[in-house]
């Protein structure tokens, strides 16, 4: 009998610099979609149908300020569930997630790690064999999520990254929620060493000082809060 392998696709939305991740068990065809984008619904629906996958759930890493999720559309057409943190502020969830919760798809699963700081309801999803972690906007490649709005807290994010994500195996691949310069993945070891905000010798004071002085413009697409049908992602 064939052994199930992981089917994995990293998808990109140019307008918001967002990554969407499709994961599936190659035998059972059960699939999960992480951080879908409203405008990319048709692209992702076609892919799911072409690959003959059974979409179990759309997961959100947090309530996004810069794009709207397609999770509601997938729920409507495919009957998939919508899952996000209990602290996400997203009103209509099929399951509210907390630390340690496990989301199964076929023979595989993702485990929830709470990584607040960019927002209160940020979570990361760790693959069962600890080979991949989907960090949303908690840890970005050579960066991290901003902490200047949406209940952001640089001190919380420091703890989430240093005590949570940086305790994962160095070889664990980091798949972020965004990248604004075309990079696709990193690893825990690489970010521990090279992340200019929180890697190397940076301590909490360095990090908080850096984050409190970033003065980033608000995202181009900021337009909603996380309640109701068209919002929530």
Ligand X SMILES: N[C@@H](CCC(=O)N[C@@H](CS)C(=O)NCC(=O)O)C(=O)O
**Interface contacts to ligand X, rule CB under 6 A:** 64-66, 118, 137, 143, 145-146, 178, 180, 216, 219-220
CB of 166 to ligand X, least distance (A): 18
Query: Residue 21 and residue 158: Cα distance in Å, rounded?
Result: 25
137 binds Fe ion per the rule CB under 5 A: yes
Of 37 and 56, which CB lies nearer to Fe ion in the complex structure? 37
What DSSP line would sit under the chain, residue for residue? -PPP-EEEEEEEETTTTEEEEEEEETTT-EEEEES--GGGHHHHHHHHHHTT-EEEEEE-SS--SS---SHHHHHHHH--EEEEETTS--SS-SEEE-TT-EEEETTEEEEEEE--SSSTT-EEEEETTSSEEEEETTEETTEE---SSTT--HHHHHHIIIIIGGGS-TTPEEEESB-SSS---EEHHHHHHH-TTTSTT--HHHHHHHHHT--PPPPTT----S-SSS---
Backbone angles phi and psi of 183, in degrees to 5: -80, 145
Question: Among ligand X, Fe ion, none, what binds residue 216 when CB lies within 5 to 8 Å by partner kind?
Answer: ligand X
CB of 155 to ligand X, least distance (A): 16
CB of 201 to ligand X, least distance (A): 20
Residue 85 · residue 98 · CB < 8 Å: yes
CB of 160 to ligand X, least distance (A): 14
Of 117 and 164, which CB lies nearer to ligand X in the complex structure? 117
Closest CB to Fe ion: residue number? 137
Question: Among Fe ion, ligand X, none, what binds residue 146 when CB lies within 5 to 8 Å by partner kind?
Answer: ligand X
Of 3 and 181, which CB lies nearer to ligand X in the complex structure? 181
CB of 65 to Fe ion, least distance (A): 6
Of 40 and 64, which CB lies nearer to ligand X in the complex structure? 64
CB of 128 to Fe ion, least distance (A): 25
Query: By CB under 5 A, what part of segment 26-85 binds Fe ion?
Result: 64
Question: Among ligand X, Fe ion, none, what binds residue 231 when CB lies within 5 to 8 Å by partner kind?
Answer: none
Of 164 and 233, which CB lies nearer to ligand X in the complex structure? 233
Of 146 and 156, which CB lies nearer to ligand X in the complex structure? 146
Q: How far is CA 11 from the centre of its chain?
A: 13
Q: Where on the chain is the footprint of Fe ion (CB under 5 A)?
A: 64, 137
């Amino acid at each position: 009998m064939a052994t199930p392998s992981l089917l994995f696709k990293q998808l990109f939305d140019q307008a918001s610099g967002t990554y969407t991740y499709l994961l599936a068990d190659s035998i059972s065809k059960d699939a999960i979609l992480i951080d879908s984008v409203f405008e990319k619904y048709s692209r992702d629906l076609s892919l799911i149908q072409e690959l003959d996958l059974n979409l179990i759930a759309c997961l959100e890493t947090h309530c996004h300020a810069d794009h709207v999720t397609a999770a509601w559309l997938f729920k409507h057409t495919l009957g998939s569930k919508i899952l996000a943190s209990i602290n996400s502020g997203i009103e209509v969830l099929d399951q509210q997630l907390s630390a340690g919760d496990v989301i199964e798809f076929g023979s595989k699963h993702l485990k929830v790690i709470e990584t607040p700081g960019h927002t209160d309801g940020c979570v990361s999803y760790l693959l069962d064999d600890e080979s991949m972690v989907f960090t949303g906007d908690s840890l970005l490649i050579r960066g991290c999520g901003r902490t200047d709005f949406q209940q952001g807290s640089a001190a919380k994010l420091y703890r989430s990254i240093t005590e949570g994500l940086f305790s994962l195996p160095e070889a664990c691949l980091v798949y972020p929620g965004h990248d604004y310069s075309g990079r696709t993945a990193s690893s825990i070891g690489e970010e521990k060493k090279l992340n200019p905000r929180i890697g190397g010798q940076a301590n909490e004071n360095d990090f908080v000082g850096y984050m409190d002085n970033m003065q980033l413009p608000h995202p181009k697409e900021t337009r909603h809060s996380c309640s109701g049908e068209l919002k929530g992602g």
